[in-house]
Structure 1
Amino acid sequence: MLCPSTASDSKVVLITGASSGIGEAAARLLAADGHHVVLGARRTEQLAALAESIEAGAGSALPHLLDVTDPASVQSFVEAAHDRYGRVDVLVNNAGVMPLSRLDALRIDEWNRMIDVNLRGVLHGIAAVLPIMRAQRGGHIVNIASVSGLRVDPTAAVYSATKHAVRALSEGLRQESRELRVTVISPGLTRSELTGSIGDSAVREAVEGQMGIAIPAAAIAEAIRYAIDQPAEVDVNELVVRPTAQG
């Protein structure tokens, strides 16, 4: 069992998509470890409730409205964290959507939404924190991808494309960096609200039918914790975490 962080090694951790699922689980776990968590999402009521719950347990949490598709919103989120704590140690790019469908269904608005949130949202986060991390000569960017970034399945072509892209840009950033750490975490079937974004009812029912083997969001939070708790000279580049029963 890992020991909670002491005051001297607590970090300022920014989490996008923090109102539920993996983001919420990561916020609770890292705050319990003594890190300062900055919570970003569009659903401000859920964020406020999460921050209140964390602080009731003696943790440190700052909620902030965030739309990762808007560069100005992402910049405001990062600046709020930097203004409060004076540094940004970790960014967890977690926000994502997964409206799966066959390509011949031509759900073009959903394709664009996945590209905007899953890919542009990650790029907006990187763009906002990179100058700060460069100036402080250190930092850690954790990008949440998916096992769909390692394979392609029917109905997941566009979703997989965004997650393949996240892995590619993460590797590019890693190779360009000597002071920053870059980690990609690829979850398998995980209990979250992602299936709720599937507009095609037949596809949604098929995916929900597989969720009996899904792992809890807390399992991915543990992977995030493992990566950021390594010594500064150790960069955990990629973690794949899936249910034992998943094919």
Structure 2
Amino acid sequence: MAKQPRVLVGQVAAITGGARGIGKETARALVAEGMKVAIGDLDLDVAEATARELARGGSNVRAYRLDVTDRASVRAFIEATERDLGPIGVFDNNAGIMPVGAFLDESDDSTRRQIDINVYGVLNGVKEILPLFVERRRGHLINVASMAGKGGFPGVATYCGTKHFVVGLSESLRGELQYVDSPVEVSCVMPAIVQTELATGLKATRGVKPTTPEDVAEAIVDALKFPRFDVIVPKSAAVANGVLQLLPRRGREGLARALGADKALIEADQGARQGYEVRAAHSDPQLASGDQPAALSGGQD
């Protein structure tokens, strides 16, 4: 007998960094499934515009200003969502940034911003939502990592480190929940390069199917209906990763060179990325109004 999908209609989902890119398309897909969705984003104006677009005249999508680097802001986001929409059943740690460039050229501000958003942003979400899920004995935590959390790619050294953290954290959380026999689910989403503003100017790699935000959103919906931990997008990337892990280091590095993966990020077109980088750098929550960013690096998914 085929396994029956979990019912999503009427459930509440909260998405960090949900105003653009993967977060926005995930919100769209969840609304299409009949869910109520809270969009949290540092850019409230864009979040509200996204909410209006997706709500279709209803009240099933709400927007909130959210700074994931501030645990109190995350707590306020969760409290407002539950007050307005009901108990959260799905929490999607989606917010993230990906500066591109050689590690030796990376500024301290860029390093700090990546760790604040990609690491502490995820931790703050987990620390605030997981106690509620465990107490209620229901809930599904989605942590958006990257295939960069499974390997190392020239041009995004710190980013890779932060995504390795998200993968390791998610694995450990799953183990601890199983240890205490909790029914709370954890999924770790690991996309290849996704065609969002974040990927502007990156070089294509041979043999890798282009991935869209819609592809990632579809995979997340599927993981909610049929819970699983590993959510690799596209599925071909999971096969490729499995093969790579069987090869010795020289073989892995040789294959990466053959596919152009060793140059895809470090040889990015910085001119093409400039608009994205400027907006992203201005998203630093530690900048006071009117301040200028110290460096053009970083951006939200």
Q: TM-score, normalised by structure 2?
A: 0.71
| Structure 1 pair 48–214 and aligned structure 2 pair: CA distance change class (3 A) | same
Q: Distance in 2 between matches of 1:9 and 1:29?
A: 12
1:134-180 superposed Cα distances (whole Å, 9 cap, x missing partner): 22111110011111011101112111000000000001111111221
Residue 142 of structure 1 contacts residue 182 of structure 1 at CA under 8 Å; is this kept in 2? yes
Report deviation, 1:193: 2.2
The residue type paired with residue 181 of structure 1 is E
The residue type paired with residue 185 of structure 2 is R
Residue 14 of structure 2 contacts residue 91 of structure 2 at CA under 8 Å; is this kept in 1? yes
What does residue range 189-200 of structure 1 map to in structure 2 within 5 Å? 189-195=193-199
User: Which of the two has higher C-alpha Rg?
Assistant: 2
Q: Which residue of 1 is the match for residue 96 of structure 2?
A: 96
Report deviation, 1:113: 0.8
Q: Which residue of 2 is the match for residue 69 of structure 1?
A: 69
Report deviation, 1:195: 3.8
Q: Distance in 1 between matches of 2:6 and 2:130?
A: 24
Report deviation, 1:243: 8.3
Residue 12 of structure 2 contacts residue 87 of structure 2 at CA under 8 Å; is this kept in 1? yes
Q: TM-score, normalised by structure 1?
A: 0.86
Q: Distance in 1 between matches of 2:127 and 2:176?
A: 14
Report deviation, 1:86: 3.3
Pick aligned residue for 1:218 from 214, 219, 243 = 214
The residue type paired with residue 16 of structure 2 is T
Say which SS state the counterpart of residue 64 (structure 2) adopts: strand
1:45-68 superposed Cα distances (whole Å, 9 cap, x missing partner): 111111112221657101111111
Residue 215 of structure 2 contacts residue 234 of structure 2 at CA under 8 Å; is this kept in 1? no
Q: Distance in 1 between matches of 2:125 and 2:138?
A: 16
Q: Distance in 1 between matches of 2:126 and 2:97?
A: 18
Pick aligned residue for 2:190 from 186, 189, 195 = 186
1:16-55 superposed Cα distances (whole Å, 9 cap, x missing partner): 1111100000001110110011100011111111111222
What does residue range 40-79 of structure 1 map to in structure 2 within 5 Å? 40-56=40-56, 58=58, 60-79=60-79
Q: Which stretches of structure 1, 4 residues or longer, exceed 4 Å deviation after superposition? A: 243-247
Say which SS state the counterpart of residue 158 (structure 1) adopts: helix
| Structure 1 pair 240–5 and aligned structure 2 pair: CA distance change class (3 A) | closer
The residue type paired with residue 15 of structure 1 is I
Say which SS state the counterpart of residue 39 (structure 1) adopts: strand
What does residue range 1-247 of structure 1 map to in structure 2 within 5 Å? 9-56=9-56, 58=58, 60-177=60-177, 178-195=182-199, 205=201, 207=202, 209-210=203-204, 214-230=210-226, 235-242=227-234, 247=259
Q: Distance in 2 between matches of 1:193 and 1:71?
A: 27
Say which SS state the counterpart of residue 88 (structure 2) adopts: coil
Residue 184 of structure 1 contacts residue 238 of structure 1 at CA under 8 Å; is this kept in 2? yes
Q: Would you say how many aligned residue pairs link Structure 1 and Structure 2?
A: 230
Say which SS state the counterpart of residue 89 (structure 1) adopts: strand
| Structure 1 pair 67–10 and aligned structure 2 pair: CA distance change class (3 A) | same
Q: Identity over the aligned pairs, expressed in percent?
A: 34
Unaligned ranges ≥5, structure 1: 197-204
Q: Distance in 1 between matches of 2:59 and 2:82?
A: 18
The residue type paired with residue 189 of structure 1 is I
1:64-115 superposed Cα distances (whole Å, 9 cap, x missing partner): 1111111111111011112123311011110000002222114221111111
Q: Which residue of 1 is the match for residue 287 of structure 2?
A: none
Q: Which residue of 2 is the match for residue 199 of structure 1?
A: none
Say which SS state the counterpart of residue 179 (structure 1) adopts: coil
Superposition CA RMSD, Å = 2.4
